[in-house]
């Protein structure tokens, strides 16, 4: 069976899981962990991707991210590719480091944000990397220490998490710590690993029992949320794909995007790929990048190759292009 495509959208909340191939270590020492975190922090800031929770274990990583205008796939490609190259060079090794592709689960925020933060931050304790919660408070390779104010991570959105507990920072931290402590006895939480309502209910048996009285229930391994949320996400994905297919069927390939962006900004199509910093050329390039990534679904890497610019430059252009399109009511197709 072909694997399903990932689900993403600006502002989407994702639980990301990265595993080492054959359960092998992806971090051999603290230098590897620092390397990974430095890369992660830089990319999250550059792409305006929010991080609410994370944990590094010897052979896998958990991240809780909210995408900005840059797709999650682009963020992860930059992170994992760069880390693999660096890790392999440092340890003089070859071959794959990660198991297949990373797993990403789009999550419903209201019932699951804090549950996921707690679940992710308790991973080092469950794995017996740290002996107790007091040690976890200062453990540097888990986001819990940043929420507790023991470690500083400028790229981790601690304020958003603490705001969920109300009161001032000190009181919010106290409530957060109590919430995390309460989760220790709950152990592993397989229901937080996707499957929509099916997993949330505790499996197919319970889902089938409820289905008799509530009608059709919807589950999807790529989504964590109740049935209505799962259905809404899938419908939105279908609409997005239909629009993409319509655009492509209408001849809106990369070349046509170049010509339209150039015409709207009063420059020649050739100017866009010259690297010129002239304001109108920058505007045209920004619109092009935004349309190519968000409307046609091209990766930032593919766009970067076509324009002979860097991937981070494409990400910046996408954000600039989105704002330009919104502020000036510019669309890819004529109204």
Q: What pairing do the DSSP bridges indicate for beta strands 103-107 and 13-19?
A: antiparallel
Q: What is the pLDDT along the chain (335 residues), one digit of tens a residue?
A: 344 555 556 678 888 999 998 889 999 999 999 999 999 999 999 888 999 999 999 999 999 999 887 888 888 988 999 999 999 999 998 888 988 778 888 777 677 889 899 999 999 999 999 999 999 999 999 999 999 999 999 999 999 999 999 889 999 999 999 999 999 987 566 556 544 434 444 443 443 444 444 433 344 455 666 556 555 555 555 545 455 555 555 566 888 888 889 999 999 988 888 878 899 999 999 998 888 887 777 777 888 888 888 877 888 888 888 888 888 888 776 54
Contacts of 95 (CB under 8 A, 6+ apart): none
State how far the Cα of 166 lies from the Cα of 183, in Å rounded to an integer.
19
Question: How far out from the chain centre does Cα 170 lie?
Answer: 29
Tens digit of each residue's pLDDT (9 = 90 or more) over 298-323: 777 888 888 888 877 888 888 888 88
Token pair of 21 as six digits:
């191939």
| Average pLDDT value over all residues in the chain | 81
Identify the structural domains of the chain with CATH numbers, from first to last: 13-190 (3.30.70.1290), 194-245 (no CATH), 250-327 (1.10.1750.10)
Cα 321 to Cα 47, 269, 273: the distances in Å are: 14, 17, 16
Residue with tokens 């699951």: 112
Q: Which residues are 18's β-sheet partners?
A: 61
pTM: 0.65
Count of beta carbons in the 10 Å neighbourhood of residue 169: 13
Cα 142 to Cα 138, 147, 157, 159: the distances in Å are: 9, 10, 13, 16
Helices 300-307 and 311-327, axial angle in degrees (round to 10): 100
Residue 15, φ and ψ in degrees, nearest 5: -100, 115
């Amino acid at each position: 069976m072909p694997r399903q495509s990932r689900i993403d959208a600006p502002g989407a909340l994702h639980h990301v899981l990265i595993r080492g191939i054959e359960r092998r270590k992806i971090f051999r020492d603290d230098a590897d962990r620092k390397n990974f975190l430095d890369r992660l922090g830089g990319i999250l800031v550059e792409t305006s991707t929010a991080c609410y929770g994370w944990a590094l274990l010897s052979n896998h990583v958990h991240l809780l991210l909210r995408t900005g205008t840059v797709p999650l796939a682009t963020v992860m490609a930059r992170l994992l590719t760069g880390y693999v190259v660096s890790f392999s060079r440092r340890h003089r090794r070859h071959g794959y480091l990660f198991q297949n592709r990373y797993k990403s689960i789009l999550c419903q925020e209201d019932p699951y944000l804090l549950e996921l933060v707690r679940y992710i931050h308790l991973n080092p304790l469950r794995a017996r990397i740290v002996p107790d919660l007091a040690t976890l408070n200062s453990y540097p390779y888990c986001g819990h220490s940043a929420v507790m104010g023991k470690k500083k991570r400028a790229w981790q959105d601690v304020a958003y998490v603490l705001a969920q507990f109300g009161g001032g920072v000190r009181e919010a931290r106290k409530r957060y710590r109590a919430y995390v402590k309460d989760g220790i006895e709950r152990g592993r939480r397989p229901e937080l690993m996707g499957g929509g309502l099916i997993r949330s209910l505790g499996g197919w048996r319970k889902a089938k029992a409820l289905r008799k009285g509530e009608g059709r229930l919807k589950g999807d391994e790529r989504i964590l949320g109740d049935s209505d949320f799962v259905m809404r996400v899938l419908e939105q994905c279908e609409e997005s794909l239909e629009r993409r297919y319509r655009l492509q069927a209408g001849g809106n390939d990369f070349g046509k995007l170049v010509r339209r962006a150039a015409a709207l900004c009063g420059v020649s199509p050739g100017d866009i790929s010259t690297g010129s910093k002239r304001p109108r050329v920058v505007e045209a390039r920004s619109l092009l990048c935004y349309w190519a990534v968000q409307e046609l679904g091209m990766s930032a890497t593919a766009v970067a190759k076509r324009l002979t610019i860097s991937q981070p430059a494409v990400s910046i252009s996408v954000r600039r292009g989105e704002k330009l399109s919104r502020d000036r009511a510019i669309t890819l197709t004529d109204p």
